[in-house]
Amino acid sequence: MTPTAEPIIQARAIEKFYGPPEARIQVLAATDLAVYPGEILALLGPSGSGKSTMLRMLSGLAPPSSGQVLWHGQPVAGPCENVSIVFQSFALFPWLTVLDNVEAPLKARGVARTERMKRALRILDSVGLDGFEQAYPKELSGGMKQRVGFARALVVEPEVLFMDEPFSALDVLTAENLRSELLELWDGKKMPTRAVFIVTHNIEEAVTLADRVVVLGKNPGHVRTDFRVAMPRPRDHQDPPFLEAVNYIYRVLTQPDLVPTPQPEHEAAPAAGAARAKYPMVPHARPGGIAGLLELLVDREGRDGIHHLADDLAFEIDDLLPIVEAASLLGYIHVKEGDAEITPEGKRFAEAGILRRKELFRVAAERVPLIRQINRALASKADHSMPADFFHDLLDEHFSEEETERQLETAVNWGRYAELFDRDSSGRFFIPEETPQPAGDEVGSH
Ligand code: ADP
Ligand code: MG
């Protein structure tokens, strides 16, 4: 592929907001992104970073709130004819046979019956579904269902094949199988598709498949890095360049651009147009998970590569990143070049007993703006309690309803562990009786 080739799709400063105009939530900051002929492009990011939203806008399934999507230089209005989408959930018609499922999009495009059948049978054969034509989806395993998903997508010979976490619902071996079969079709030029756009939250999957990886950060979604993977396929996961690419992505993802204190060493500066968070989020990690990570680090002389840790724990980024972010926010680790290094505070915490841990956590949690704010607000009230709505309103101008709830949920988890505050069955926040009060008494003072 020549980088100078005309892009098939070009998104210019596309942005997405949800919610009513007076309380709109930005889920994607203005982003430029192009899809070029000949490439597999992986869009990688933690859940909630706007990957599916981006896919919907590029494929014409949903309009951007502002900005423009061009296909071959022409503005897109409505779902594009020359695309197909493969979904994580397969999205097959349960009342149709495999053959009828694959014929369905051709039927919708008005292709004649004999031609439809010919094309469907051919594509079923190429994805290994020979002999399953008359089966119903419920008779098939997950892997076979997704083969039908691929066949149905490929039968229309889409110019761009879109996939939204197509392997996430499958077991590891099945996913690996399907991935390599897809690559065989693609690299063997056995599919007429000119570009593949795959959404994933799996780093290894992105590096296994893609010619180019675009990494999204969240709140609001923005491009953190966009880079090329030049290795020939199939790729050996133990090859140094493969590990380097995986490591690089971890480095970018764990570089805290969401935490208020800026990192001194900005190695991979966010791409132009990247947005910064308006309100620092609490990473969704449980104190027990944080303690687990710290204990593991102590076992490893205090430092280890984050991708090693993820591998050893069989964690995906959505599991490990919040824990790493939380530990870093609490001052328990430093993230350096894709490694997590435990701090003296972290070590003290890891080696303490349960009661001492709670005390230490209480002090560390004061570094986290939301925890501090809740704590100060409660301490300022004579009865040491506040309705949940107060904190809800504080957050909901920055986050979606769902994220606001999750933020409060995590804050309560931390507050409860530290014995700083709790939430009663009516949702009211309160400071438990025997908790020592924080030193400051001004509400929201920093
Ligand atoms: P990802 O695919 O990376 O997990 P999504 O694109 O699905 O992320 O969602 C990005 C953010 O937008 C999330 O916070 C999600 O809650 C929010 N969101 C997605 N769709 C809608 C919708 N229809 N209405 C309101 N918020 C939405
Ligand atoms: Mg998604």
Ligand (nearest to CA of 46): 1
24 close to ligand 1 (CB < 6 Angstrom): no
Q: How far apart are CA 271 and CA 268, in angstroms?
A: 9
Q: What is the pLDDT of residue 311?
A: 79
Per-residue pLDDT of the chain (446 residues; tens, 9 = 90+): 545 689 999 999 999 999 888 888 899 999 999 999 999 999 999 888 999 999 999 999 999 999 999 999 999 988 888 899 999 999 999 999 999 999 999 999 999 999 999 999 999 999 999 999 999 999 999 999 999 999 999 999 999 999 999 999 998 899 999 999 999 999 999 998 999 999 998 899 999 999 999 999 988 999 999 999 999 999 998 888 998 898 888 888 877 554 333 333 333 334 433 344 457 788 899 999 999 999 999 999 999 988 888 878 777 777 888 899 899 999 999 987 778 999 999 999 999 999 999 999 999 998 888 999 999 999 999 999 999 999 998 888 888 888 899 999 999 999 999 999 999 999 999 999 875 555 544 444 44
Q: For ligand 1, atom 12, name the residue with the nearest CA.
A: 27
Distance 373 CA to ligand 2 centre (A): 31
Closest by alpha carbon to 17, among 220, 215, 199, 164?
220
Tokens standing for residue 81: 């004819």
Q: What is the pLDDT of residue 256?
A: 58
Q: What is the pLDDT of residue 237?
A: 87
pTM, whole model, 2 decimals? 0.77
49 close to ligand 1 (CB < 6 Angstrom): yes
220 close to ligand 1 (CB < 6 Angstrom): no
Ligand (nearest to CA of 49): 1
Ligand (nearest to CA of 220): 1
> What is each CA distance from 66 to 16, 75, 251, 283, 328, in whole angstroms?
7, 13, 31, 29, 35
Query: How far does CA 420 lie from the centroid of its chain?
Result: 31
- CB-neighbour burial class of residue 31 (10 A; exposed 0-12, middle 13-18, buried 19+): buried
